[in-house]
Amino acid sequence: MLEWLVALCFVILVVLIWPGFKYFNTESQSDALHQGLGISQLAKIDKTGRCVSEQEGSDGAQAGDEKKRAVALICKPSALANYLLKHCRTFSNYAPCVGWTWRAGALLQSVYEACCPYDSPVQFVRDNLQLSDEGLVALDWAVPTYQKRRRTSSHSTSPVLLIIPNSFGKITRNLLKLCETALSHGYLPAVFNRRSHNGTPLTTLKLQQFGDPADLREAVRYIRHRQPAGKLYAVSESTGSGLLLSYLGECGSSSYVTAAVCLSPVFRCQSWFENALCWPLQWALALYQKICLSRYKTVLGETIQTDTLFSSCSLRDLEEALFCQTIAPPGTSSSCNTSATWDVYWERNEPLRDVDEVAIPVLSVCAQDDPIRGDAQSTIPLELFETNPHFFLLLTDHGGHCGFSTQSKGSQAGASGSVGPVAAPSSGMGSRHISWSHKALLEFFRATTDFFAAEERTKQLAARRRGLGGGAAGRTFRNRSVSTCKRVPECSHNIHAIYNWQRSYTR
């Protein structure tokens, strides 16, 4: 109890001091970041290899400049990028809170979305999945409280939204609002819980490493077995993006996922664990993780140095104690080279290690004033978004960490239309305020799906025209019963390829 009171005092102290400091430095820092990131001259970005969204309308030059500075879409120019700029109006309709309101502070809105309770009209139905090594993970399916039937039919064609929380397993206010918004737009949200997270029993001595996608791979295979007719989309929050990016990189085009979004992701995770966070936030996160692991202290003592684990005060010390330091066998020296082990650990768990293998569109929504990720110039890999046609960066001036608070007028205007596959029901599920980042990701999913459908129709039409061209070659092609398609090796976990379109959106 005393530790919780001390943690609360530290959080209150940081919350009171930091926003005032940030307020007086917001404009100068924003200008410097714009110049450092090359976003100050939006009209010239296309010539330098970037594709940046611009606000459409006739609200005046001054208002247009302010909105241009509020958000930018940074990516490699391509057919899909042009389609997103044309059809995703939420990308260029971000009006952040400014002035002395607490929602304008990056740290305040970040803490609010992460820690404050939320009276959500959503309940969860849990599926405990036993893995191949007899470990357990859980999928929490979100359903409305007014719905009498708690299970969905396996014949449902509704799209599934797989949500990956942060690496600490905290179910945040932002995540609950995302489940509510997704339900109101026709999705079936499912929250992935790692081993020992959120009441998931720990049945083995193995915990999931930061970027190990093996457990997530089996969970995705279960989702495809349960909902074979629905498309699968994925959203990750904060440090949970490390697991999603690792999965997409390892599975490539056999990931089963149509499109993915990372909300306030942490890209360079090793450096983030080492020196990104200020020590009060590190101490608070380490304390939360130790409290969650304390119930397994006895059983974890067989393979982990629990004294080192529960005496650590930083995230790096915790991660090292969990995965890099093991109890030395009897008769051997207890000393070990933790620095070398730490580097080897991140060679296997760094989220961007297989980024070149990602084969689906991935949108990252980031804010320059993110107090958790750190300085934008050193933590955001801009070269990835400028050179890889699968990655898109939606970068805002303000928004904090998974906050993205907006002014009331802009929010109401932007929330008037449906951005998902199904309009919001009249029961009141979709009547609440919808976060700008949630509207942006739903528009991204809809636009990418429509784009791929149009590409597939174009491909089929071209094939039909070739088949109706006449001549011996056409008759021979129509009478052939053997496929001329090149055989592609199946993924190691036996996932069937779902991408039958040509990736012309990368042109």
Three-state DSSP state, 280:
helix
Pairing of strands 391-396, 71-74: antiparallel
Catalytic residues, which ones? Answer: 370, 401
Tokens of 318: 């915790």
Task: Report d(CA 37, CA 370) in Å as an integer.
Answer: 15
Pairing of strands 362-367, 136-144: unpaired
Is the CB of residue 158 less than 8 Å from the CB of residue 445?
A: no
Sheet holding 232-237, edge to edge: 71-74, 391-396, 362-367, 259-263, 232-237, 160-164, 188-193, 136-144, 122-130
Tokens of 199: 């009441």
Task: Report d(CA 360, CA 506) in Å as an integer.
Answer: 10
Three-state DSSP state, 71:
strand
Pairing of strands 259-263, 232-237: parallel
Task: Report d(CA 438, CA 134) in Å as an integer.
Answer: 35
Burial of 438 (0-12, 13-18, 19+ CB in 10 A): buried
Task: Report d(CA 2, CA 226) in Å as an integer.
Answer: 46
- Residue 452 is which amino acid? F
Task: Report d(CA 444, CA 453) in Å as an integer.
Answer: 14
The long-range contacts involving 87-91, CB below 8 angstroms and separated by at least 24 positions, are: 87/443, 87/447, 87/450, 88/440, 88/443, 88/444, 88/447, 89/56, 89/443, 90/414, 90/419, 90/436, 90/439, 90/440, 90/443, 91/53, 91/394, 91/440, 91/443
* Maximal CA-CA distance, the chain: 85
Pairing of strands 122-130, 136-144: antiparallel
